[in-house]
Chain A
Amino acid sequence: MSFPPLEITRPESGNLKLILHEISHALSELMATGNERSIDLRGIPLAPGEEKKLLESLGEGEIRAELDALGKSRIQESRYSGVWIVTHCNSNGEIMGRFIEITRSPALLAAQTEDMAAGLDALRQLIATGTES
């Protein structure tokens, strides 16, 4: 049996352009004042396929980093320097949240004081005893 081809039309929420405007305002604010912004994509109504379209519009820039803590997170610079896409997954690889961060460098990339302190302890122990804690 053959079926007629399925016609799928993509409705539009009209919000894609608004998000791009918001990003461009945030980027000019970052340059002028240093203020950072983050946009939670979960809070914005998007039609099926629109998030993908948004990510395509933002493209991929020079830096991509992967964080491995409580599941993977992907930190990707967009083709517009200063605009980052941060995607958090749980350990099943399911997306827990996606944020557009407008910043020179997402906070998660920087080493954290608590982690450095723990690392320093472990390093000292290694030097003193030859074994890791």
Chain B
Amino acid sequence: MNKERTLGEILRQQGVSRRGFLKFCATTASLMALPPGMVPTIARALENARRPSVIWLSFQECTGCTESLTRSHAPTIEGLIFDAISLDYHHTLQAAAGSAAEQARESAMKENFGNYLLVVDGSIPLANAGFSTIAGTSNLEILKEVAKGAAAIIAVGTCAAYGGLPHAKPNPTGAVPVSAIISDKPIVNVPGCPPIPVVISGVLTHFLTFGRLPDLDHLGRPLAFYGNNIHDRCYRRPFYERGQFAESFDDEGARKGWCLYKLGCKGPVTYNACATTKWNNGTSFPIESGHGCLGCSEPDFWDMGGFYRALSEPIGLSARTVAGGAIGGAALGAASGLLNRKKKAEALARHEKIGVDELKDGETK
């Protein structure tokens, strides 16, 4: 498809009316967590947006992130966003295979050098390059090569953003995130295990709409989606404030929908959009089903000390302290966050990499 055409032209050619376009813009604004008042601005920007070329690389991953994205609100709105970008290489989704696929990547890189978006899912193994290769080339090599001509990199999923599950203790593959390797390109982290589908497409849409990457927090996450923690937007928060906690998954508190803090909910230290954007096309999110947040959009969430251990437990808060803290709920959340970070730093310091030494000699390129 001709990359010079604007999104407005592409939509008109597909028979989308102006009303349809305005509807598209209204849901897009909502998707990007922008106020409805921004719709006219978005309409103007999207009308004239040109299709960027996208190269998607998958490294040590479970394909959950791609699954998440392709399960999003297809086919219309998200489909349109994907029609509006030129997905030149994605080895799970593209039709071409083998050397034809690699050629597609190389020619997309050449044609759009300096301008294409690089999307990465999965972590990169450093212990032994042979742990994960594409067409015989190590993930490390491909990442460095493709990153050279990228305008920006979007690290999709907690693996690409922070190492994720492969990086969990004892990290046998020596997995690292994109940011540990590439330091001279803007990187946007879109963590989550997997990330919410509309958050992935929301970041792409932001780039399409405004021609630049969104504002980021200190962990490289777009503030529009990761600006609030789950706890701040959780509908169970009033129970937290009143000190009403479920103590087990089948007690009276659980049945009444009380706060899941004592059952290990990591909502107070987890920044993500689940509580408002929700999952399965806006149906619900885990806390609505009675399970605490696992903290999947935070670095090292797998090693946070157990999914069912209350955040306060390791630092010796008694049940009374938790209830007392509920009076100053936000403050306790923040304090737990700090202590949790300290705990994470200690865990990090203890990190041992085992089971890789004997493989080190077998490195490929």
Contacts and interface: CB of A to CB of B under 8 A. Distances in A.
B144 interface: no
A67 B26 contact: no
Contacts, number: 110
A92 interface: yes
A47 B18 contact: no
Contacts of A14: 238
B235 interface: yes
Given A10-B257, A113-B18, A70 B233 contact: no
B37 interface: yes
B235 A97 contact: no
A94 B75 CA distance: 10
Interface in A26-79: 38-40, 42-48, 50, 67, 69-71, 73
B73 A45 contact: no
Interface string A70-107: 11010000000000001010111011110100000001
B17 A115 contact: yes
Contacts of B258: 11
A47 B257 contact: yes
B89 interface: no
Contacts of A94: 73, 281-282
Interface stretch (B27-35, B54-62, B103-111, B155-163): B27-35
Q: How big is the B interface, by class? A: 35 or more
Contact of A90 (B31, B76, B238): B76
B271 interface: no
Nearest to B239: A11
B18 A96 contact: no
Interface in B327-344: none
Contacts of B277: 42
A14 B237 CA distance: 10
A43 B276 contact: yes
Contacts of B256: 9, 11
B355 interface: no
Given A42-B30, A45-B275, A46-B235, A88 B37 contact: no
A92 B280 CA distance: 13
Interface string A96-133: 11010000000110001111000000000000000000
A7 B29 CA distance: 39
B9 interface: no
B234 interface: yes
Nearest to A99: B36
A13 interface: yes
Contact of B19 (A12, A38, A46, A112): A112
B76 A38 contact: no
B76 A71 contact: yes
B257 A70 contact: no
B97 interface: no
B20 interface: yes
Nearest to A7: B255
B258 to A, nearest CB: 8
Contact of A108 (B22, B37, B235): B22
Contacts of B33: 43
Given A99-B36, A115-B19, A13 B75 contact: no
B236 interface: yes
Contacts of B235: 11-13, 15, 45-48, 50
B20 A70 contact: yes
A11 B236 contact: yes
Contacts of A108: 19, 22-23
Contacts of B74: 90, 92
B16 interface: yes
Contact of B18 (A15, A71, A92, A114): A114
Contacts of B37: 38
Given A38-B37, A40-B36, A94-B281, A70 B77 contact: yes
Nearest to B284: A48
B363 interface: no
B23 A48 contact: no
B24 interface: yes
Given A40-B30, A42-B276, A107-B22, A96 B17 contact: no
Given A7-B255, A88-B23, A108-B22, 9 more contacts: A13-B237, A40-B30, A42-B276, A47-B235, A69-B17, A92-B75, A96-B73, A97-B26, A115-B18
Interface of A: 7, 9-15, 38-40, 42-48, 50, 67, 69-71, 73, 86, 88, 90-92, 94-97, 99, 107-108, 112-115
